[in-house]
Amino acid sequence: MTTTKKTGRPSKYSRALAEQICELIRSGKSERQICAMKGMPAIQTLWVWKEKHPEFLEQSARARADSADVYNDRRQKKADELYRIAESHLRNGESIPKGIVEAFKVSMQEDAREAANRDDSRFGDRKRVALTGADGGAVKIENNLVLDDVSLDDLKKVRALLYGKESTSADGN
How far apart, in whole angstroms, are the C-alpha atoms of residue 170 and residue 147? 20
Cα–Cα distance, 37 to 20 (Å, whole number): 12
In 3D, which of 171, 147, 167, 149 has the Cα closest to residue 157? Answer: 167
Q: Is 96 helix (H, G, I), strand (E, B) or coil?
A: coil
Nearest to 25 by CA among 10, 46, 39: 46
CA nearest to 61, candidates 128, 127, 117: 117
Check residue 18 and give its pLDDT: 96
- CATH code, residues 15-123: 1.10.10.60
- Say if CB 173 and CB 167 are below 8 A apart: yes
- DSSP 3-state of 22: helix
Tell me, what's the pLDDT at 147? Answer: 81
pLDDT at position 139 is 85
Q: What is the pLDDT of residues 67-115, one digit of tens each?
A: 999 999 999 999 999 999 999 999 999 998 889 999 999 999 999 999 9
- The pLDDT tens digits for 102-155 are 999 999 999 999 999 999 888 988 777 778 887 888 888 888 888 888 899 998
Asked if pLDDT for residue 60 goes beyond 90, the answer is yes
Dihedral over Cα of 87, 91, 92, 98: its sign: positive
In the prediction, which pLDDT does 38 show? Answer: 95
| Residue 133: Cβ within 10 Å count | 10
* Size (the chain), residues: 173
- What is the predicted pLDDT for the residue at 19? 97
pTM of the predicted protein model: 0.64
Q: What are phi and psi of 93, to 5 degrees?
A: 70, 20
Q: How far is CA 90 from CA 85, 95, 104, in A?
A: 9, 7, 17
Q: Domain limits of the chain?
A: 15-123
